[in-house]
Structure 1
């Protein structure tokens, strides 16, 4: 959890620069990628983080460090964001990397806005999350920080590489495992879904069934969950024949699994426990 100084720094910086980042349009793709790269560099270089967050060090010195690191190579908006961040006070040195990552995700969202694919990316992330719920071994491997990042990324690409996913979805999914940042893979994907949902002003409700939902069912679920969460919702219908029947509903981190396969698994555990 971020301290008060970091929360203030993050909020003021984002209030100031998010509109400018949004206005970069298609360039937001490049900026987002650059900020993800900087996040990775900071996460693996504590001395650099300290140099950029030391409150006793003049801001001009910190900007000089930035110029050595990315000056002349990065997009001007990337440099403006970083210059703003190093000029603020942080509760912990690692909090600046969190702020850089947040701006990186914002860049990806604004690029999706510029290309009219924001909802598509949000749905694809939710489908990825839903699919991984039933793949515990793969989830564990994607979250294994003892394995090289290249190996985790290769594993992810073996799962989604041939799929027709939006490039923003692929980049965010790759970022989630390329730099784990002390998080589990599924946790990061859910965080990304939540950020997109807030950005769109609605909540994502992923409903997994063995057969496609009918329009009447979608309307009913939309009404139920709009009332439940207190804001507009989007029903993301995922078809997975392996659940056999019933319905699994996920809203944020909360999962209600009433599928036939879940009931069978519960029955099996009960029988084994009583044997």
Structure 2
């Protein structure tokens, strides 16, 4: 989610509340994710409702009371309180509230994976699945076909991922395919990968090399990028024999082409300056 102004502040506060909630052992992060996703779907459908819940002319307390009346008996107390906190905040536009709910649902699922030690696997699987979708036009068409039923798409994903990927990966991808909300499948998968990396305070570097990198090369590249960007790096590795210069590194919007040796030397020079 790209938020601005009031929405950015509201989302940051909501993420802090979510972290506090999921730190409590009594809160089921997976259940929280499911319920937040259900509220997201509700507000995505009900345009009038989301306008009411983001109306600056209404008091925060009045909007929170409405939330409790609508969903209080259908979700856990933790979910109802989190959504109530969201509607008490100010939002730049109504859609931002729905985007925030969707992001919080994904973070809750990723937190559940982190709690059981599978977050690294989920990161890798999201990246790999994104690469498969990009390279397989028939699969992409099947998963994004507006004429196909949601149940057919979900069944296809289950055949592809069931038993082969972590449960969190399958849940996140299924939710994305079922409710793309105007995004491309590739953009949605990239956003999920970034959220997964943030769970461990790491940035994502997509590394495409002409030949597979050795373990020492991976370690050197990861260390150099971490020093350069000032945070830990998760390397998503891909192989493409046609890469010019032997390697291509993308961190966020920055793309670096050139050989591994040249890039490491450049990183060292920038650190020394």
Q: TM-score, normalization: structure 1?
A: 0.78
Deviations 1:61-85 (A, max 9, x none): 4334323432123121111111111
Corresponding position: 1:251 with 2:247: no
Shift in Å at residue 116 of structure 1?
Answer: 1.5
Q: Is the 8 A contact 1:143 1:185 kept in 2?
A: yes
Corresponding position: 1:105 with 2:106: yes
Corresponding position: 1:219 with 2:219: yes
Shift in Å at residue 244 of structure 1?
Answer: 6.6
Q: Is the 8 A contact 2:205 2:252 kept in 1?
A: no
Shift in Å at residue 24 of structure 1?
Answer: 4.4
Shift in Å at residue 59 of structure 1?
Answer: 3.9
Look up the match of 2:196: 196
Corresponding position: 1:172 with 2:169: no
Q: Sort the Cα spacing of 1:176 and 1:252 in 2 relative to 1 into closer, same or farther, 3 A.
A: farther
CA-atom RMSD in angstroms = 3.0
Aligned residues between the structures: 254
Q: TM-score, normalization: structure 2?
A: 0.78
Cα distance between partner residues in 2 of 1:211 and 1:26: 45
Cα distance between partner residues in 2 of 1:15 and 1:162: 33
SS in 1 for 2:8: helix
Look up the match of 1:263: none
Look up the match of 2:77: 76
Cα distance between partner residues in 2 of 1:36 and 1:250: 33
Q: Is the 8 A contact 1:21 1:77 kept in 2?
A: no
Corresponding position: 1:47 with 2:48: yes
Cα distance between partner residues in 2 of 1:204 and 1:230: 13
Look up the match of 1:135: 136
Look up the match of 2:37: 36
Which deviates more, 35-44 or 136-145? 136-145
Shift in Å at residue 225 of structure 1?
Answer: 3.6
Look up the match of 2:159: 158
Cα distance between partner residues in 1 of 2:232 and 2:226: 5
Corresponding position: 1:93 with 2:89: no
- Any unmatched runs of 5+ in structure 2? 259-273
Q: Is the 8 A contact 2:207 2:250 kept in 1?
A: no
SS in 1 for 2:205: strand
Deviations 1:9-63 (A, max 9, x none): 2223333443223334760110011101111111111022122222233444433
Cα distance between partner residues in 2 of 1:24 and 1:182: 35
Cα distance between partner residues in 1 of 2:54 and 2:163: 42
Cα distance between partner residues in 2 of 1:115 and 1:36: 21
- Any unmatched runs of 5+ in structure 1? 259-275
Shift in Å at residue 252 of structure 1?
Answer: 5.0
SS in 1 for 2:204: strand
Q: Is the 8 A contact 1:26 1:115 kept in 2?
A: no
Q: Sort the Cα spacing of 1:61 and 1:138 in 2 relative to 1 into closer, same or farther, 3 A.
A: same
